[in-house]
Amino acid sequence: MKLILASGSPRRLELLKLITENFSVIPADCEEHLDSALSPKEAVKALARQKAEYVSEKYPETTVVGADTTVFLGETPLGKPKDTQDAKRMLSLLSGKSHSVITAVALARGGKTLNAFAEETSVEFYPLSEKEIDEYIATGEPMDKAGAYGIQEKGALLIKRINGDYYNVMGLPVARLSRELSLFI
CATH number at residue 8: 3.90.950.10
Residue in 35, 68, 83, 165 annotated catalytic: 68
Buried-state track 70-91, b at ≥16 Cβ within 10 A, e below 16: bbbeeeebbbbbeeeebbbbbb
pLDDT the model gives residue 98: 98
Domains: count for the chain: 1
pLDDT the model gives residue 36: 86
Q: Give the integer Cα–Cα distance in Å for 24 and 2.
A: 8
pLDDT the model gives residue 1: 56
List the domain range (segments joined by +) for residue 103.
Answer: 3-184
Q: What are the residues whose beta carbons fall under 8 Å from the beta carbon of 143, sequence distance 6 or more? A: 80, 81, 84, 87
Helix (H) or strand (E) holding 25: strand 23-25
pLDDT the model gives residue 47: 96
Residues of the chain falling short of pLDDT 50: none
Would you say 104 and 44 are in contact if contact means Cβ atoms under 8 Å apart? yes
* Residue 148 amino acid letter: A
68 belongs to the catalytic site: yes
Strand partners, 106: 66, 116
